[in-house]
Amino acid sequence: MTWNWKENNQQKHQFRSYYCLDCKQRKPCYTISQEYCCSCAYQKEQERAKEYSDYQQVYQQKVREKKEHEKQLLLLKNYQECKQCGSKEADAYNLYESSKLTCQPCRMKKEGGASGSVSFLERQKWYKRWWKIDLGEWLENYQRLPVNADCAREWLKDRNHLNSCDCLEKEVNNLVDLFTGSLKEYQEKLKECQCEISNKTRTPYYDSANYGYTYCEKCETRIAGAGKHGVIKNRNNPSFWGLEIKEKVLCLECLEKFQEKMPISKKYTLNKYLKRGY
């Protein structure tokens, strides 16, 4: 729990960095993303594409979502009004997140804050406008909805469409293609990448005056970086002292414990720093 304070600080200050939000080691060239360096952005897209690479899995997911949505609309259709306040506005969050009907004005009164409302009338208007169908009739007659606006259009032309409808398959195919396509696009763009790579250990935190800082990897003492450059000072870099250890940032006190492993000249310099006290 002692880490909370640090995490807070990180959130507050990390956006000052000019470096990739993910690896914090590369300056993005903005070929792919505004926030991430190209290789991190590509990696993220790869993960996203992986989720959408399995046709069956995406299809099953979409079927589940569709059924869930139809169930919610049916609930909403049968919602009369709140017995307490008489409102017909249901709470959108509770409906869409947990398929539960609750009165929106009453929830606001009880819990405060802001939450959206949804009513059958409003949904009905939406479907009339964008899908050209009467939502109430549809739910009553078919207990299910068209897949999308195209599907609704097809059905309006041909009443038998629902019996041979493959609109969901088409939609899923398009989704899968879309993600494979965009991954290929990223791959091409990656060739033009000019992100600047920095091998210096960066300071992930910035104080209110924009000076970078970080923490000793052993004792967690706060360590000031090299001014506003966003990197640590040489003296906090174990390899500067000729040390081959896994830590990348250490305070001088912790470095002192490795003194025996340092070359003579470095030992001498370290003692100078330690005597000076900074």
Using CB under 5 A as the criterion, which residues of the chain lie in contact with Zn ion when the complex forms?
20, 22-23, 26, 29, 31, 37-38, 40, 82, 84-85, 87, 103, 106, 151, 165, 167, 193, 195, 216, 218-219, 221, 251, 254
**53 vs 115 by CB, closer to Zn ion:** 115
Q: What are phi and psi of 39, to 5 degrees?
A: -70, -35
**106 vs 226 by CB, closer to Zn ion:** 106
Q: How far is the CB of 79 from Zn ion (least distance, A)?
A: 11
> Please, where are the H alpha helices in 135-249?
135-142, 149-157, 167-190
Residue 70 tokens read as 């139809």
Q: How far is the CB of 4 from Zn ion (least distance, A)?
A: 21
Q: State the distance between the two ends of the chain, measured CA to CA, in whole angstroms.
A: 30
| DSSP single-letter state for residue 195 | P
How far apart, in whole angstroms, are the C-alpha atoms of residue 141 and residue 259?
82
**96 vs 258 by CB, closer to Zn ion:** 258
Q: How far is the CB of 40 from Zn ion (least distance, A)?
A: 3
**53 vs 243 by CB, closer to Zn ion:** 243
Q: How far is the CB of 101 from Zn ion (least distance, A)?
A: 11
CA-derived radius of gyration, the chain = 29
Calculate ∠ Cα 203-278-271, nearest 5°: 115
How far apart, in whole angstroms, are the C-alpha atoms of residue 152 and residue 137?
13
**171 vs 207 by CB, closer to Zn ion:** 171
Q: How far is the CB of 27 from Zn ion (least distance, A)?
A: 9
Cβ contacts of 159-164, under 8 Å, gap ≥ 24: none
